[in-house]
Amino acid sequence: MKRRDAETPREDLITDKIIGASIEVHRVLGPGLLESAYEECLCYELSQRGLEFKRQVGLPVAYKGIKLSCGYKMDLLVEDLIVVELKTVESLLRVHSAQLLSYLRLSGKPVGLLINFNSSTLKGGLRRVVNNFSEISAARRLGVEKEGSDDAPALP
């Protein structure tokens, strides 16, 4: 089964709207700001698109039948379905994808987006992660050869 086949049309539609909102924020602000500024602006764009979301959602860890608060927080949970993890780093690393995959597994959510606003084009800073499937970067899915490259062409 391919990763894309695992997503429902609803999940696909929501992730497309989130990506569109993220592109708009990046187009207006560009790279170089704090993560909190991008989060605030992205929340505005999500609300303009009619999407419900929660910010800084606590994520307990289940251990031996009890839930422990370990300080994990998902940046955004959109439509109670898609986990969005925001970054403002020089480049996305495997540890960032692993963090999002951990959030997906702990929350039981099917799909997550990892978005790095500190790249010259947002396309190079986007990764879609599917729970129980390998992560494939949005850049590779959209035909860019070098994953995470700031030299990637802008999204249309």
Residues 6+ apart with CB under 8 A from 39: 55, 75, 76, 86
Report if residue 20 sits inside a domain.
Answer: yes
The model carries a pTM of: 0.78
| Domain total of the chain | 1
- Dist. CA 151–CA 127, nearest whole Å: 16
Could you tell me if residue 150 is inside a domain? Answer: no
* Residue 19 counted as domain residue: yes
Report pLDDT for 6: 55
Is residue 1 a part of any domain in this protein? no
The tokens 């800084």 sit on which residue?
Answer: 56
Q: Residue 31 belongs to what domain range?
A: 7-141
- What does the pLDDT read at residue 142? 40
Per residue of the chain (156 residues), give pLDDT as tens.
444 555 688 999 999 999 999 999 999 999 999 999 999 999 999 999 999 999 999 988 888 888 888 878 999 999 999 999 999 999 999 999 999 999 998 888 999 999 999 999 988 899 999 987 444 444 344 443 333 334 333 333
Q: What is the CATH number of the domain that holds 88?
A: 3.40.1350
- Residue 153, domain member (yes or no): no
Note whether residue 100 is domain-resident: yes
Q: Are 16 and 51 in contact (CB under 8 A)?
A: no
Domain membership of residue 64 (yes or no) is yes
Is residue 152 situated within a structural domain?
no
Per-residue pLDDT tens for 1-28? 444 555 688 999 999 999 999 999 999 9
Around Cβ 77, how many Cβ atoms within 10 Å? 21
